[in-house]
Amino acid sequence: MRIPFTKMHGAGNDFIVVDDREGAFPLSDKEFIRRISARRTGIGCDGILLVQPSETAGLRMRFINPDGGEQAMCGNGARCFARWVCDRKLAQASMAFETGAGLVEAEVSGMQVRIGLTAPKDARLDMELDCPWPVDFVDTGVPHAVAWVPDVGAVDLSHWGRLLRHHSRFAPNGTNANFARVEEDGSLAVRTYERGVEAETLACGTGAAAAAVLASMRGWVSLPVTVHCAGGHDLVIETLLGRTTLAGGAAYVFDGEVEYGDRV
């Protein structure tokens, strides 16, 4: 079976998008998912986006991590999903679709896509953890710890990201780990160690939103706020009609096909 796909990225966060409206994608084959997600020997991605039918909305986005596990939500993934379905006339430029975290509203304008995030919940400030910096927590569709550091570029993410991601305070499922700084102009710089990827990603939409929401709660910034991601792209977090939104570019990289059941 040959599986057509589109490679996309949102602010450097990259995805394999698959039209799975027929339900043929081998979702239970985690080894296959790991192979096609691998950067050196496969297509390479931070996650797989499955376009599926929905009983509550026109379409459903399933987000699969490179390790084969499923996440409820991915902000940059949702923005790429929205552009993909809009460009193929499967949805209007203003749309709503189902995710594991609930209904997501999106608006596509060329390469730019804005989505509404689920309401932040479970916010906790100044958690006492085994970490040399202040750490906050909030769930913006998926859980995020945010450590406030003096220099995001100097953080050893392989060490501190793994420590926060697996910390006992976030058991049993763990958390995404972000390292953020408020810049002099009121913008934020953020690096993210993502759960399921188990490494740093070039951007994380829900992580950028978590940092912006928590910085606002602390009184350090006022929304809207620009978030500078590790890959050199910017995301904008703001509040519209009482809802937190995430906006930025969603770009195509290439189209292809992968053979299921054979080497990648």
Secondary structure class of 185 (helix, strand, coil): coil
Host H or E run for residue 114: strand 112-116
Secondary structure class of 216 (helix, strand, coil): helix
Tokens of 79: 């923005």
Is 45 one of the catalytic residues? Answer: no
- Residue type at position 53: P
Cis peptide upstream of residue 66 (ω within 30 degrees of 0): no
Identify which of 95, 51, 54, 48 has the alpha carbon closest to the alpha carbon of residue 69: 48
Q: From residue 241, give the alpha-carbon distance in Å to each of 107, 122, 138, 142, 244.
A: 15, 21, 20, 22, 9
221 within 8 A of 236, measured Cβ to Cβ? no
Distance between alpha carbon 120 and the CA centroid of its chain, in Å? 15
Q: Pick the catalytic residue from 74, 80, 86, 229.
A: 74
26 within 8 A of 97, measured Cβ to Cβ? no
Cis peptide upstream of residue 143 (ω within 30 degrees of 0): no
Is 74 one of the catalytic residues? Answer: yes
| CA dist., res. 78 & res. 62, Å (int) | 10
Q: Pick the catalytic residue from 45, 80, 86, 204.
A: 204
| CA dist., res. 63 & res. 37, Å (int) | 13
CA atoms within 13 A on the CB side of 50: 23
Residue with tokens 């970490």: 131
Task: Show which residues are catalytic.
Answer: 74, 204
